[in-house]
Amino acid sequence: MTAQCDGGPAYPLVYQSIVKEGGNIDTTYAATGLSVRDHFAAMAMQGFLGTTNAGIPVDADKLAIASFAIADAMLRAR
């Protein structure tokens, strides 16, 4: 099974960055918080919920699946 690309940390707290030979940067994170994928899904979910009529029940499982599908598409486009 391959690991899913989550886009890395959305709001990282950088602990240490070291520039290595050849200009490559090695970064250690003190706290990563949520992933970019999680952030994109949350924003998509907010958009979906903002466009529904108030008081109408929402199927939370379908909403979550659709939100992560949008997030995955955004990561591919990125």
pLDDT in tens, 24-72: 877 776 666 788 899 999 999 999 888 766 666 778 899 999 999 999 9
What local confidence, expressed as pLDDT, does residue 51 receive? 79
Does 18 or 75 have the greater pLDDT score?
Answer: 75
pLDDT in tens, 4-28: 677 777 777 666 777 777 878 777 7
- Residue 73: pLDDT above 80? yes
Binned at pLDDT 50, 70 and 90, residue 1 comes out as very low
- Write out the DSSP string of 3-62: PPP--SBSS-EEEEEEEPGGG-EEEEEEE--SBHHHHHHHHHHHHHHHTSPTT----HHH
Q: Where are the domains of the chain?
A: 13-77
